[in-house]
Structure 1
Amino acid sequence: MATVDLFAIGNALIDQEFKVSDEFLAEQNLQKGTMQLTDGETQAQLFQNLQNSQVYKGQASGGSAANTTVAFSALGGSAFYGCRVGNDELGSVYLDGLNDAGILTSKKSISEGVTGTCMVLVSPDSERTMHTYLGITAELTDSQIDFESLKTAKWLYIEGYLSTSDSARVAVQQARQIAKDNQVKIALTLSDPAMVQYARTGLEELLDDGVDLLFCNEQEAVMYTQTETIEAALAALKSLAKTVVITLGAEGALVATAEEHIQVAGRKVTAVDTNGAGDAFSGAFLYALNAGKDLQTAAELAILISSQVVAQFGPRLAVADYPKLLKQLEVESV
């Protein structure tokens, strides 16, 4: 298998996006801004309710770590994505989409079952609320992941959503050990406040004895560390990661290591849909670090890319847009 810069493991989900009202979220008993797991029957009923009363915005291949990997690859990095899809039409659509974006996948990812789906509900304040039926990706195991290219990768990237799956956590432990044996750096994202609230033990297992790079947003940081301020949360998280990145929405991001503490301002855009913004941030940040850029530049690129994701519907930009934004930042920095 070809050598890659980034080896990522995550869920494989097809997103169905809708513009919804706050009243609809309340009627469906959904907590705004979080991800809720469900079964296939409940998912089908919600989909019907959405079609009957809300505004459909389209379908897109999603999955948190996959969105990150797309951003990384589109900016110029090489990447592999380990996941599990069903042997159905959506599974083919999903893997073909990754391959079209230049990302390597494995036939091991395909197995009997139904590909997962995520109803992405975008409220008037642009916040995304997710209702997820994991399908076969809930049963992701090491058997669906070809670890060969991890041995020569620069980074292993793990999404926190895997914390809910016993078998996926076992696969992550194997990946972590391979990474350690081959001096591959490890990055992880906490992914969602719901993971911190309901799957904390799983997240702790994914983090294990620490990582090189940890991504989270302000809410996740405070919740996970059980602190009351972002400063206290940052101090606590530095014991878990060599580099901690806390995204602050429109306010930008905080980046901290043992030696540096940087705050980078956000960019003003008209927010449309926050789905995928944090994922794009992580992909751009990882790309910049892998390209030898400093933390300040990495954060600036990540904020630029993620701000453009927020300004549109869908979790990803067109592949051609990522290098254009990279060039824009280079011009601005002259």
Structure 2
Amino acid sequence: MAPSVTGTRLDVLAIGDALVDVKASAEDSFLAEEGLVKGSMQVLDTEGATRLYARMGQARETSGGSAANTMAGVAALGCRAGFVGQIADDQLGEIFSHDIRALGVEFNTPPKADGLPTGRCLILITPDAQRTMSTYRGASHELSADVLDPEQIRGAAILYLEAYLWRSAGPRAAMERAMAIAHEAGRKVAFTLSDIVCIHAHREEMIAMLDSGAIDMLFANENEIKALADAGDRETAIEAIQSKVPLVVVTCGEEGALAVEHGRRVTVPIARIGSGVVDTTGAGDLFAAGFLVGQTTGRSLEDSLRLGAIAAAEVISHFGSRPESDLKELVATL
């Protein structure tokens, strides 16, 4: 990798959901007893999350969340990553903090002694390899601007924000404060639209944020960019958004990915690793990791897109949302 941005302590600092992924095997009969639709994703309240967690069998628990996955990818690629996310002072909070630090990601957010428990994504894997997910946001959506470390933000070349947190007032205020600190320090701010459900309720706010110049780099997939632009097709959507943000990055499924920077457009095909697609969980998160690493190490748009494509291809070649192969070795030829 090329040298990182001078005068920085971190290459990328992310703010996002601090969730623990709890993965356990389950029979179809267990899903039926719980009234769960195989392959679906539901949002749980505190009572529902506590009850389902207690009923799950032996589980593997690891730090999770979209932006946290991206930072795991940044660290795996050999760059300096940091993460800000709210956990509670409980067992799952300890698991999250230990796991993400073990990956080489700086995590200094103090746990909350009161309030909601640590957020979690309860993942039931049936014998046919289908994943049924139940998410409890918990303490992650209690993040406030009070826990931000301005020096940590100033010391990161890129501040990366996820839209999942944008839906809650406290985290939104924290992200707005972090954006202001980053720009005052001359740093770049990246924002990922995360999921189409995040856009519908906050589209006008997001457009206003782009119009204000708060975002330097926008990540989206095809459906998300169309929802943000309120357009029926990808090209119309990109045309509408590219004038609002200096750099737009769009993943396009089997067509690969594209980036538009100040009107200049670059496209790359998908990368293929191993046996192909096994599990698409985390593909967008790891694509963003590769692209961010490319940008913070001075790579071209084309190489940044290729780094993203390789990182995404690796994570979809196996189950799970974190890389298992040596990403540094996979991208060494670039």
Correspondence for 2:120: 117
Specify the SS of the correspondent of 1:283.
helix
2-side partners of 1:93 and 1:13: how far apart?
Answer: 10
Report the Cα offset of residue 253 of structure 1.
Answer: 0.7
- Give 3-state SS (helix, strand or coil) of 2:110's partner: helix
Query: Residue 272 and residue 261 in structure 1: after superposition, are their counterparts in 2 closer, same or farther (change >3 A)?
Result: same
Maintained 8 Å contact 1:73/1:101: yes
Q: Which one has a larger percent helix, Structure 1 or Structure 2?
A: 1
Q: Does 1:40 align with 2:12?
A: no
Question: Residue 76 of structure 1 aligns to a residue in which SS?
Answer: coil
Matched with 2:266 is 262
Q: CA deviation at 1:120?
A: 4.1
2:10 match: secondary structure: coil
- Residue 173 of structure 1 is matched in structure 2 by 176
TM-score with structure 1 setting the length: 0.85
Distance in 2 separating the partners of 1:278 and 1:192: 10
Structure 1 residues 88 and 205, CA, compared in 2 at 3 Å: closer, same or farther? farther
Cα 1:240/1:131, change in 2 over 3 Å: farther
In the TM superposition, what whole-angstrom CA distance separates every residue of 1:212-266 from its partner, at most 9, and x where no partner exists? 1110111111112111111011111213321111112232112112242122111
Q: CA–CA distance in 2 between the matches of 1:126 and 1:209?
A: 45
**Structure 2 counterpart of 1:244:** 248
**8 Å CA contact retained: 1:11, 1:64:** yes
Q: Distance in 2 between matches of 1:184 and 1:8?
A: 13
| TM-score using structure 2 length | 0.85
Partner of 2:190: 187
CA RMSD between the two structures: 3.0
| Alignment of 1:149 onto 2:152 | yes
User: Where in structure 2 are there 5+ consecutive unaligned residues?
Assistant: 1-7
Unpaired runs of 5+ in structure 1?
none
d(CA) in 1 for partners of 2:209, 2:164: 10
- The answer to whether the 8 Å contact 2:37/2:132 transfers is no
| Alpha-carbon distance, 1:283 to partner | 1.0
1:325 pairs with 2:333: no
The equivalent of 1:294 in structure 2 is 300
**Structure 1 CA distance for aligned equivalents of residues 269 and 313 of structure 2:** 12
8 Å CA contact 1:83–1:109 kept in 2: the answer is no
Residues 187 and 214 in structure 1, CA contact (< 8 A), matched pair in contact too? yes
Contact 2:80–2:105 (8 Å) recurs in 1: yes
Question: In the TM superposition, what whole-angstrom CA distance separates every residue of 1:114-169 from its partner, at most 9, and x where no partner exists?
Answer: 11001346799989775321111111001222221211321111011011110001
Match of residue 136 from structure 1: 139
Partners in 2 of 1:122 and 1:263 — Cα distance? 35
Please give the alpha-carbon distance, in whole angstroms, between the structure 2 residues aligned to 1:96 and 1:75.
Answer: 20
| Counterpart for residue 319 of structure 2 | 313
- Cα 1:305–1:121 change in 2 (3 A) is farther
Output the amino acid matched with 1:150: I
Shift of 1:30: 8.7
